[in-house]
Structure 1
Amino acid sequence: MKQPGPARSSSGQDSGAPLVAVRRIDRAPRLPPVLADRPRLLALLDQAAPLTLLRAPAGFGKTTLVAQWAARQDPESLTVAWFRLRRGARDASSFWAGLLEVLADSGVPVPPRESWPLEVYPLTGLVERALLEAPTPVALVVDGFDRASDPEADVMLADIARHVPALRVIATLRSHRWFGAPRHLGIDLTVVGACDLRLTTDETADLMAAAGLTTSASLAPALREEAGGWPEPTRAVVLRLRDEPIDGAAAVAAVVGRVAADYLRDRLLAENCDGKRMRVALLTSLPDHFTVATAELLTDEQELKPRIDELVSDGLLVAERHGDNWVYRWPAAARRALMAELERSLPEQLAELHTRLAHWYLAADEPARALRHAVHSQDWSLIVHVIDSAWMLLGTEHPDELYEAFRATPLEAVATSSRALALRDIQLRVPDTYLRRIMVELPESSTELTALGSRPDGAEVIDRGLPVLVALRLRGAFQAAQTYGERLRQVTEAARAAHPGAVVPLYPSVQLEVGLAHLFAGDLSPAQRSMRLAHVHSGDDAVGYVEPVAAAHLALTYAVAGDLPLTRKWLARYDAAPQAPRPMLPRVGIIAGTAVLLEALDRLDVDRARAVEQAVESWQTDAQELWPFLVGTQGLLAVHLGTSADVLDRLEQWRQGAPSLDHRRSTAGAYLAAVEASLLLSLGRGNLARSVLEGPYREHPALRPGRARLALLSGDDEAALRLTADVGWAAAGSPRHRLEMLVVRAVAADRLGDRRIALDALGRAVSIARATGAVRPFTTVPRAELGALAASCPAAADFLARDPLASAPDLFPAAVTLIDVTEREQDVLNGLAEGLTTQQLADRAVVSYNTVRTQQRSLYKKLGTSDRAEAISRARAWGLLPLRREPLSDLPSGPSRSNRET
C-alpha cells in the first residue's frame, strides 16, 4: 500500500499531521426486505460518472437505490463511503468534518482528529488529500445533500471530484438549490430524476413478486397507474396487499386510496408545497390534465409557469409535451387526495370552477372535457349548449361522456334541443314521444325542400336534422328513416349549392346516413350510391369517421349481394382509410369482418372464414341493426361446418333481445330469413324451411333462390324451373342469387329433359364463377347431377373438377321430404306430441272420437308409419314439430350489449 505522506491544506501548505487509517465501519443503510430489481437504474449508477445526482422528493427510493448499488460493489476494488447528513449542523465546517469522519470510518487514511483545523478551506484540503491518498478508488455517497451546512458545499465537492481522478460523488437530494447549474461545474455527471425513479409496470410486478404476491402480473398495471409508480407508496401498498389480499384489479384503487393517498398528501405534498403551491396543487387537481393557461384560469393568478415547473422538478407533477404545448397531470392517487381536500376546503367554489373549465375546454375544441365539467357544475343549459355545439364529435368519439350527461340531465332540459334530444335517444335507447314532437319537420315536395336548403339557415336545418335521422334508424324505424333521409338529402344538395362553405363539412355525413337508411330499409342500389358519394367527399368530413365507415358498409353491401370484385375493392379502400374513432371500431370491425367472411365463403375458403369469424366475435357492440348480418353470416358458415342446429338455437335466443325486423323490404330481415331457411334445409327440415320461405319476406328477391332450391330438392322440378325463369326477378336479384338460380335451373332443366336450357344455364354459371371467384353456389345443388350434365361441356367439367370446389361437400341433402298436412291434422299431431289420448284430442277439438281417428290415420299415412312414437319422431325430423333441444346455457340471451345499456 502506498505510504501516507504529509497532509496539505487547500493552499498547498503542509498540515504537519500524518495520514492514519482507522477501522472500517459500514455506514450504508439496511435494505428493506421487499425490493424490486431495477437493472435499468443500477446501470446508470454503473456508468462511473465523476458526479451522479439523484434528485427527487421523499419517497422516490433514492437512498434505497444507491444502497442496492453499493451492496453490489467489491470492497477490494471500490471503497463506498456513505455520508448521511442530518439536520442541526451549526456551521459550515461541520459538513467537511463529518465527511472526514466518514472517510476514516471507511478505511481511507486521514489525519488524527485533534489535528483538524476549524476553518472550512483547510478542511476541504484535508478531504481532497485523503481522497488522493486513498488505497482504492472511492465512491462518496452524500445522502440528503439538502442538509449540508456549507452553502458552497456543492461547488467545492464538484471541484474536488474534478481533481481526484479515482473519486466518484453520488448525491441524493430533494431540491434544486444544490448543483443548480451542473453544466457550469466543468465535470461529467449523471442525473437520475423523479421520472427515472418511478417504478415501471415490470418493476411493480417484480416488487409484488418479491413480496410473495402471486397476482403480480395481473394487478401490476393497475397498481402502477394508481400509485403513479412512486416507489415508497407503492411498496406500502404491496405490503398491505400481502396482508389483505384483494380480488381483481378494480379493487387496487381502493387500497391505494387508503394507503398511498395519505402518504402523498401528508408527507410528500406537505414537505414540498408551501401555502401558495398547495393552492395551485388543489385547484389544478380538478381537471384530469391541465396547461399553464388552465392553471391561471382556475387560480386567477398569472405567471404560474415557474411554480408549476418546480412541482415538475420535485417529481410531484407529470409533464408531457403535446405538440408545441406542455401538458401536466397529477398521478391518480395524488389527484384523488388533492380533490378530496379541495372538496373539503372549498366546496362552495366547485360549481363555479367546473363551469369555468367547461367554457374553457369548449373554446379549446375539447367538447368531451367540457361536457364532463358541465355535468359536474349541474348547469343544465350549459350541458345542452355543449352538446348542441359539438354533437357529432361527441356522438362518434365520446359516447360514454354523452351517456353520463344524459343520465344526469333532466329530460325537460334536454328536450329544448332537437340535437340533444336525438342524441339522448341514440345513447339511452329509451322510447318516448319527445323525439317526434321536436324533430325537424321537413316538407314533402321537392320545391319546398330546395327552398328550405337555400335559406340562410339551411346549414342549421341540416345540422339539426342529421341526428334525428340517425335516431330513427337506430330505433329500427327504417321506412321513416329512409323517407326522412331522402328529404334531408334534397335539403343538403340545395344548401350546398347556395352556401357551400357552411354545408361542405356536413355533406359526407348526410350522404352516409342516407345510404345507411336505404341499406336497412332494403334498397341496395340507392344505398350504394349515397355511400359512394359519402366516400368521395370524405375529405371534407368534419369529424373524420365517414371514409372508413362508408368503405366498410359498401364492402358489406357488395358481399351480401355476392359481387366479389366490388367487395374486394371496398375492403381494400377500408384497409387504406384512416382508422375509425375508437368507440366506432367495434361496429366498423364487425361490418368489415362480415364482408370478409362472406367473401371467403363464396370462395369456399372455409379455414379463412373460421379465422375471420373468431376475430369478428371478439368485437363487442350494442349496434343492434348489425346482428342479423353477423348471425346470418355465422349461419352460412355453420352450414359448411355441420353446426346448423347450434346456430338455429342461437338465432332464436338473439331474436328475443333484437328489434323487430318485420319490414317486408328489410335487407337485414330478408337476409336472415334466407339464411335460416338454408340452416333448416341443411338439416333436412323441409317443412320448417318452407314456412320461413313462405313467411313475411316471401316476395323479397333474396328468398327466391331458396324457394327454387327447396322445390328442386323436394322433387318439384317444374316449379324450380318456373321460379328460375322469372325475368323480372333476375333484374332485381343480386349476383350471388342469380348464380344460385342458374345452377338450380341447370339441374331442373336436365331432369325435365331440356338439355339445351340446362347446358346454357351451366355454361353461364361457370363463366360468372370464373370471372368473380364465387364458387359456393355450385355446392347448393346435387353435384353428381351437375357433373353428369358437365360431361357434355368440357369447360364446365374442368371447372367442377378443380379445387376448392372438387373437394367441397354438398351443403344440402340430395332430396328433402315435404309433408302437406291440413290444419286439423296439424292439431292432431301437436296433441300427440303433447301426450294426449285420442279421446282427449276429440274433447279439445269438440269433435267425435271417430273424426279424430280418421284424421290420425290420414296423418300416419302421410308420415309413412302406423306407430305413434315413430310418427312423432318423423314429424320432428321433417320439421312438422320442433326438435327437442336443451337450451345452450353458454349463449347470450340477445345481441351483444354494453354494460351501460344492460
Structure 2
Amino acid sequence: MIGKDRHNWSSIPDRRAHPESISHRAQFTKLDNHAALTIIRAPIGYGKSTLVASWLRTIHASGRISVVVPEPAPSMTSGEYWAHVLQQFLSTAIAFPNTVIDPAQDPFTAIVRIFRDNSLPVILVLIRPDKVDGRLDESLAELVRYCRCVNLVVTLTGRTMFPEPHLLDIDQESISAHDLLYTMADTTSVLEDSGAHLVPGDIETIYSMTGGLPVLVRRSISVLKNLPTESGREHLLGHNLRRVIQHYTQECIAAEAHVVGQYDLVVATAPARELTVDTVTYLLESDESPQQIRDRLIALEAAGVISYVDTGVVETWRLAPAIRQSILTSHPVGGSDPAGRLSSLSRAQLDAGAHASALDYAIEAQDWALAVDILDKHWATMIADNLELVRSAFQQIPPESTAKHSSFRAARNLYLQHPDEQVTFGSALPESAEGLRELGASAEAVSALTIGCIQALMLIHAGEYKRAVDITVRLIELSRIIEESDRHDISAQLSTMRAQWAITFQLNGRLVESTSLARMAYWGASSQKIGYIARSAAGTAALNWAMVGELHRARQWSDLEEQHRNIEITMQSQVKVAGLTACALTSLDSLDFAGAERALTELGLPTENDALYADEFWAFTVYARSQFALSNNDAFSALSLLRRTVAAHPSQCNPTSMAGPLMRSTEIDLLLALGEGNKAAALAEGIVDAGTNPWTLVSVARVRQRMGQNKSAITLCHQYQWKGEPYPRAQMESLLVQAVAHSELGEHHHAITAWSKACAIADQTGLLRPFSTIAAEDIAALEAAASTRSSALSEFMKAVTPESFPKSVHIVTLTGGEQRVLALLVLGMTSVSMARELHLSTNTIKSQLRSLYKKLGAHNRDEAIAQAHALQLI
C-alpha cells in the first residue's frame, strides 16, 4: 500500500506505540541529511529497525518514495538477494513510469536501471544485508554512486560489511550502538507513554538495570504492568526485571552465540567489561593463537552479540552491560564464583599497569582489600583522568576495610568533598623548614606526604594552581627530608609524585621548575622500569621545551618519550598528550607541517575526542592546534575551538594558571589573523600588565604595531626581562615586531639591530616559523639592510610558508562626538532628540551620523548598531 506521502507503508516494520514516541532527534537529524549512504551498526536488541520505522513514520511530505527490504533468509546468496530486492520493488506496486524490466536481465542491473531511468528520489532501506552469503559492499557502493536519486540506509551488526566507510568516496552518515542506547530521558518517555503505573524510583531502577538497552527497556513495561501498586513493589521490580533480562539473554544472545559456536567464549569472558585479544586469551586460559581469538570475537560481533568499540589503541569489543551482568551472575565457570573471577581479572589488569581498570574490577568483586591496595599505591596515576572513579571507590569501600590505613582515611575524607566546594584540608603541612623537619622525622611522614599530594591534585582540579604549587614546594622538601632520614623507603612512589609535581608547576606556568622535576621523575622511573611514568615525565619535559621554543632540547626529550610509546596505558591521557603536543609544536617551528598534522591527528580532532580537550593539558592542545591553523590560514575554526574550550574551563582560566594568559594571547593572534582589528585591540586593551608574560607581551605588541602604534609596541617589548628566564620563540617574535616598528619609524639602526638578534636566535635554536609572523616585504627589506646571512632565514626562504598575519589592520575609531551619538542611537533616540540631549543643532547631529555610518559601513540605524557591537565599540 502506498500512502498519500508516497511511503511504502506495507514494507515498513510494524513498530507500534511506545517506540515511536521516543525522541531520536540526534539520530533523526543524521537520517534527515539524506546522505547517499547511512549505516546503522549495532548488535541485536539496540532497535535498529525500530529507529528506521520511527523515522519513516515521522517524515511528512518529503517527496521521497521509501522501500524497506526485510532481513534476508539464512545463507541467501548475493544473486538471490538482489532478486529478493527486485521482487520487493515489484510487490510494493510502486509506479516507476519509465521502467521496462527485462525478465532475462540480471536483478542488480535491473534495479540500477530502474533508478537511473527515473528521477524520483527513493529511500532504500536494507535490513541486515550483512547476512547475505557474499560481500555486497562494492555493489551497494556502485548503486549509490551511479544512482544519485537513491538514499541508501543499511542496518548492520558487525563490520563484515563497510568496515571502514570513511574510505569510501561516498557522502555518508553513521549511527552507532552507543547512539541507539536510550538516555534517561528516552527511558522516561517510553515508560510514561506505556500506560503502566509508575511510582518514584521505578524509572531509575529500570534505567540502571537495563543500561538503556532498548529491547530491555521495552520488555520492562510488561514487568511494570504486573506489579502490585503498594507493598513489595521495589523488591518485585528488581526480581522480575532480572528474570526478564535473563530470559532475553538466553532466548536471543545465547542462542546467537550458539549458532556461531562461540557460547563458551561469551560465558568465559563475561567478567571483562571490555574484550581484547589479550584479555580473552587470559580468561580462556587457551593456547589458541591471537588470530584465532580475534576471529572468534569477529564472529560474535557479526552475529550481533557484542559490539566493537573504537578506542584508537587496541581492538576492543563489549557486551551490553545488562547482558554481561546477567551472564556473569547465572553462569559460573570452572567452579569459580563471579567475585573470584573479577578479582583475578583485577590483578591481571594491575600487572598490565591498567590501574583504573583494575580498581573497577576490584570494586565490582567487592574485594575491598585489593581495592584499598590499588588506591593506596596508585592514586597519583589515576586521579588526573579518573577522579570520579576514585571518588566512587571511596564511597563504596566500607570504612572498616581502611582501619590500618590512616593516610587512606584522610584521603577518603578529602576526595569525598563536593567538587564545587572550596577545597579544605583537615591538617596543613607545616610552612616552616623546622616544622617540615620535625614531620619528616616522625612516623606520620609518609602519610603526610601522600595526603599532601592528594591535596595538591584536588587544588589543581579546582583551578587553584598557586595554592597547589605552594603545597608542592613543601612536599618536595618533605620528600627530601624523608629520603635523608633512611627511616622510610619512598623510592617506589617518588617518581610518580615527581611526575605529577612537574605537571603542577607546568600548569602554573613555572616551566623551569617543572622541567627539573620531570627530569628527576624520568630517570627515576626509567631505573625502576615504570614505563608509563617515564613516558609521562619525558612528555612533560618535551612540552616545556617546545613551548618556549628550544627545539633541540624538546626533540631530545621526545626521543626519550618515544622509547616508552609501546606502553599501552589507555586511562592516562597525559601520557600521550604532552608528548604529541610537543611533537606538533616542534614540527611547526621547523616548518614540518606534515609532521605537525600527524601529531595532531594522533591526538584526535576535538569533535572526535572531546574528552581529550577536557583533561589538564587542554590549553596546550588548543594552543598547538591554533598555531597549526595560523600556519594554514584556518584561524576561524581554531577560534571556534578555543572559545568553546575556554568556556568549558572557567575555573582553569585564571591569573594563577598558564592557561589564562596563553589562551588570551592565542585569541588575540587568531583575531588578528582574521583581520578583526577592533576585536583584537579590545581584547589586548583588556589585559592588565601584558608585559609580565611573554605570550601576552608578544601578542599585544604585535596588535599595536599592526595598528600603527609603533612606539607603544617597542616600549612594551622592552618590559620583559628576557635574560632572566629565556623564551627563545617569544623573544624572537618580539624582536621581529621591534624590527618592523623601528623600520616604519625610520629608525633603521635599531631595526637592523633587532633583526640581527632575531636571526641569531633562529640560527641557534632552529626556529623558522616566527619569520612567518611578519610580512615577506619586511623580511626582504630588513635582510637587505642588515645582510645577516642567516642560515635559518635561508632555510625559511626556501619553504612555501604563508604569512600568519596581515601587514596592517584597519581599526575603526570614533571621535568623541560620534561615540556620544552612537550611545544615543542605541537608546533609540531620533536626530531631534539627540540634538536636544547634546545641545547641538540637528544638522550637526546628521553630519555626525553620516560620518558614523560611513566608518561602520552601515546604511541604517540597525546596521550601525549591529556593526558597532561586532567591532566592540559599544
Q: TM-score range by the shorter chain?
A: 0.5 to 0.7
Answer whether contact 2:465 2:507 (CA < 8 A) is retained. yes
Aligned residue in 2 for 1:671 = 662
Answer whether contact 1:632 1:676 (CA < 8 A) is retained. no
Instruction: Provide the secondary structure at the position in 1 that maps to 2:286.
Output: strand
Answer whether contact 2:380 2:496 (CA < 8 A) is retained. no
From 508, 529, 548, the counterpart of 1:561: 548
Structure 2 residue 472 is matched with structure 1 residue 485: yes
From 444, 451, 458, the counterpart of 2:438: 451
Aligned residue in 2 for 1:783 = 776
Aligned residue in 1 for 2:830 = 838
Structure 2 residue 587 is matched with structure 1 residue 600: yes
Aligned residue in 2 for 1:320 = 286
- 1:853-892 mapped onto 2 (5 Å cutoff): 865=855, 868-869=858-859, 881=871
Instruction: Provide the secondary structure at the position in 1 that maps to 2:785.
Output: coil
Please give the alpha-carbon distance, in whole angstroms, between the structure 1 residues aligned to 2:342 and 2:795. Answer: 68
Residues 573 and 804 from structure 1, CA distance in 2 versus in 1: closer, same or farther, beyond 3 angstroms? farther
Please give the alpha-carbon distance, in whole angstroms, between the structure 2 residues aligned to 1:653 and 1:529. Answer: 33
| Letter in structure 1 aligned against 2:477 | Q
Answer whether contact 1:505 1:540 (CA < 8 A) is retained. no
From 739, 752, 761, the counterpart of 1:768: 761
Q: How many residues align?
A: 617
* 1:826-859 residue CA offsets vs partner (Å, 9 max, x unmatched): 5754664x6934369969xx95574999788668
Structure 2 residue 619 is matched with structure 1 residue 628: yes
Aligned residue in 2 for 1:539 = 526
Residues 429 and 761 from structure 1, CA distance in 2 versus in 1: closer, same or farther, beyond 3 angstroms? farther
* Aligned-residue offset at 1:544: 3.8
Answer whether contact 1:817 1:878 (CA < 8 A) is retained. no
Aligned residue in 2 for 1:261 = 254
* Aligned-residue offset at 1:775: 2.0
Please give the alpha-carbon distance, in whole angstroms, between the structure 1 residues aligned to 2:338 and 2:644. Answer: 49
Structure 2 residue 786 is matched with structure 1 residue 793: yes
| Letter in structure 1 aligned against 2:482 | A
Answer whether contact 1:670 1:703 (CA < 8 A) is retained. yes
Please give the alpha-carbon distance, in whole angstroms, between the structure 2 residues aligned to 1:656 and 1:494. Answer: 42
**450-459 or 865-874: bigger deviation:** 865-874
Aligned residue in 2 for 1:637 = 628
* 1:150-191 residue CA offsets vs partner (Å, 9 max, x unmatched): xxxxxxxxxxxxxxxxxxxxxxxxxxxxxxxxxxxxxxxxxx
Aligned residue in 2 for 1:523 = 510
Aligned residue in 2 for 1:137 = none
* 1:480-509 residue CA offsets vs partner (Å, 9 max, x unmatched): 111111111111111112127621112112
Aligned residue in 2 for 1:759 = 752
From 675, 681, 691, the counterpart of 1:690: 681
Residues 848 and 777 from structure 1, CA distance in 2 versus in 1: closer, same or farther, beyond 3 angstroms? same
Answer whether contact 2:463 2:651 (CA < 8 A) is retained. yes
Structure with max Cα Rg: 1
Structure 2 residue 339 is matched with structure 1 residue 354: yes
* Aligned-residue offset at 1:466: 2.2
* Aligned-residue offset at 1:822: 7.8
* Aligned-residue offset at 1:602: 1.9
Aligned residue in 1 for 2:694 = 701
* 1:430-481 residue CA offsets vs partner (Å, 9 max, x unmatched): 515595244x521111221133223234223223332332222122221111
From 562, 574, 584, the counterpart of 1:587: 574
Answer whether contact 1:381 1:413 (CA < 8 A) is retained. yes
Answer whether contact 2:465 2:508 (CA < 8 A) is retained. yes
| Letter in structure 1 aligned against 2:522 | H
| Letter in structure 2 aligned against 1:527 | S
Please give the alpha-carbon distance, in whole angstroms, between the structure 2 residues aligned to 1:565 and 1:685. Answer: 35
**855-864 or 532-541: bigger deviation:** 855-864
- What TM-score do you get using the length of structure 1 for normalisation? 0.57
**513-522 or 697-706: bigger deviation:** 697-706
**408-417 or 677-686: bigger deviation:** 408-417
Instruction: Provide the secondary structure at the position in 1 that maps to 2:419.
Output: coil
Please give the alpha-carbon distance, in whole angstroms, between the structure 2 residues aligned to 1:823 and 1:665. Answer: 37
* Aligned-residue offset at 1:355: 8.1
Please give the alpha-carbon distance, in whole angstroms, between the structure 2 residues aligned to 1:413 and 1:853. Answer: 86
* Aligned-residue offset at 1:638: 2.3
* 1:541-583 residue CA offsets vs partner (Å, 9 max, x unmatched): 5854221111112221222111111121111111122545522
| Letter in structure 2 aligned against 1:562 | G
Instruction: Provide the secondary structure at the position in 1 that maps to 2:575.
Output: helix
Structure 2 residue 668 is matched with structure 1 residue 681: no
Aligned residue in 2 for 1:574 = 561
* Aligned-residue offset at 1:800: 5.0
| Letter in structure 1 aligned against 2:772 | T
Structure 2 residue 376 is matched with structure 1 residue 388: yes
Structure 2 residue 498 is matched with structure 1 residue 505: no
* Aligned-residue offset at 1:676: 0.9
Please give the alpha-carbon distance, in whole angstroms, between the structure 2 residues aligned to 1:768 and 1:756. Answer: 19
* Aligned-residue offset at 1:386: 5.4
Please give the alpha-carbon distance, in whole angstroms, between the structure 2 residues aligned to 1:368 and 1:800. Answer: 49
* Aligned-residue offset at 1:719: 2.0
* Aligned-residue offset at 1:738: 0.8
Answer whether contact 2:498 2:518 (CA < 8 A) is retained. yes
* Aligned-residue offset at 1:343: 4.8
| Letter in structure 2 aligned against 1:561 | V
Please give the alpha-carbon distance, in whole angstroms, between the structure 1 residues aligned to 2:638 and 2:323. Answer: 52
Instruction: Provide the secondary structure at the position in 1 that maps to 2:724.
Output: helix
Residues 258 and 768 from structure 1, CA distance in 2 versus in 1: closer, same or farther, beyond 3 angstroms? same
Please give the alpha-carbon distance, in whole angstroms, between the structure 1 residues aligned to 2:596 and 2:380. Answer: 35
Aligned residue in 1 for 2:424 = 436
* 1:298-327 residue CA offsets vs partner (Å, 9 max, x unmatched): xxxxxxxxxxxxxx9xx9x9323699xxx9
From 219, 224, 231, the counterpart of 2:157: 219
- 1:416-431 mapped onto 2 (5 Å cutoff): 419=408, 431=419
Please give the alpha-carbon distance, in whole angstroms, between the structure 2 residues aligned to 1:775 and 1:265. Answer: 62
Answer whether contact 2:856 2:864 (CA < 8 A) is retained. no
Please give the alpha-carbon distance, in whole angstroms, between the structure 1 residues aligned to 2:790 and 2:627. Answer: 26
| Letter in structure 1 aligned against 2:620 | F
Instruction: Provide the secondary structure at the position in 1 that maps to 2:132.
Output: helix
Aligned residue in 2 for 1:210 = 133
* 1:406-442 residue CA offsets vs partner (Å, 9 max, x unmatched): 675699999997657868988x99515595244x521
* Aligned-residue offset at 1:387: 3.0
Please give the alpha-carbon distance, in whole angstroms, between the structure 2 residues aligned to 1:360 and 1:220. Answer: 26
- 1:95-494 mapped onto 2 (5 Å cutoff): 208-210=131-133, 219-220=157-158, 257-259=250-252, 261=254, 318-320=284-286, 343=329, 354=339, 358=343, 371-372=359-360, 375-376=363-364, 387-388=375-376, 390-392=378-380, 402=390, 405=393, 419=408, 431=419, 433=421, 436-438=424-426, 441-494=428-481
Answer whether contact 2:762 2:792 (CA < 8 A) is retained. no
Answer whether contact 1:714 1:816 (CA < 8 A) is retained. yes
Answer whether contact 1:559 1:567 (CA < 8 A) is retained. yes
Aligned residue in 2 for 1:750 = 743
- What TM-score do you get using the length of structure 2 for normalisation? 0.58
Residues 855 and 596 from structure 1, CA distance in 2 versus in 1: closer, same or farther, beyond 3 angstroms? farther
Residues 875 and 716 from structure 1, CA distance in 2 versus in 1: closer, same or farther, beyond 3 angstroms? farther
Instruction: Provide the secondary structure at the position in 2 that maps to 1:621.
Output: helix
Aligned residue in 2 for 1:809 = 802
* Aligned-residue offset at 1:370: 7.0
Task: For structure 1, list consecutive stretches of 5 or more residues without a partner in the other structure.
Answer: 1-31, 38-204, 224-245, 273-280, 290-311, 885-902
Aligned residue in 2 for 1:654 = 645
Structure 2 residue 705 is matched with structure 1 residue 712: yes
* 1:335-382 residue CA offsets vs partner (Å, 9 max, x unmatched): 999985885799xx99x9738975996799667687456544668798
Answer whether contact 1:819 1:862 (CA < 8 A) is retained. no
Instruction: Provide the secondary structure at the position in 1 that maps to 2:805.
Output: coil
Residues 863 and 216 from structure 1, CA distance in 2 versus in 1: closer, same or farther, beyond 3 angstroms? closer
Aligned residue in 1 for 2:721 = 728
